[in-house]
Amino acid sequence: MLQAAPRHALRVDIRHLAPTDLSHIQRALPPEHPEAHVRRLADQRAGRVTYLIAWNGSLAIGHVLVRWGGTANPELLWLLSPRNQTPYIEALFVREAYRSLGVGTALLAAAEDLAAAGGHRKIGLAAAVENWRARDLYERLGYRDNDVGPFTSGWTYIDERGDEISESESCVYMTRPLNGGLRQPNALRVGCH
């Protein structure tokens, strides 16, 4: 377990999603699609991803996912190269009441430290062109636009009538080098549940 030290002395523990925490996560961090957490847990079991959850005591307050084989987005893969396997960050989210306290930064640091510990030299993510606040955060943390051009990122959710709706947004691909070594050596203690 990583004990991060975000701003304002909020205590945050970051660890892999354990199957026993699934029902809590479904309630505390309602996913955009009811299957989203379940799919991510299954991908984690298969070794394709690591799904990190931030906890404040017994309350889950945020999450981030690292896809170890690189992006699964076909449009981005085409722009990069089908062989690109740079670990890819997805599903960064913090509960609204806990935002701007450093939790998002702590989740990204935990993901980056895991990738560095695995011998990776670089990590990437998609930033929505219109989400300038998120892009500001990534740039402050050392991520830079790779200039591969905008690409479309899509997702689905269930609306109030129970219909599955597809949406998409235009994104840019940003990466950050990991050659600075581990920022938080405790991340090595993040164990797989």
Ligand X SMILES: CC(C)(COP(=O)(O)OP(=O)(O)OC[C@H]1O[C@@H](n2cnc3c(N)ncnc32)[C@H](O)[C@@H]1OP(=O)(O)O)[C@@H](O)C(=O)NCCC(=O)NCCS
136 part of the interface to ligand X, by CB under 6 A: yes
CA angle 89, 90, 96 (to 5 degrees): 120
Please report how close the Cβ of residue 155 comes to ligand X at its closest, in angstroms.
11
**Which residues lie closer than 8 Å to 20 by C-beta, 6 or more apart?**
193
Shortest reach from residue 119's CB to ligand X, in Å: 26
| Smallest distance from ligand X to CB 110, Å | 12
Q: How many residues bind ligand X (CB under 6 A)?
A: 17
100 binds ligand X (CB under 6 A): yes
- State the Cα–Cα distance between residues 172 and 189, nearest whole angstrom: 32
Query: Given candidates 83, 133, 159, 191, which one binds ligand X under the rule CB under 6 A?
Result: 133
Binding part of the chain for ligand X, among 11-19, 20-28, 95-103, 180-188 by CB under 6 A, reads 95-103
The per-residue DSSP string of 92-154 comes to EEE-GGGTTSSHHHHHHHHHHHHHHHTT-SEEEEEEETT-HHHHHHHHHTT-EE--S--EEEE
> What residues line the site for ligand X (CB under 6 A)?
92-94, 99-105, 127-128, 131, 133-134, 136-137
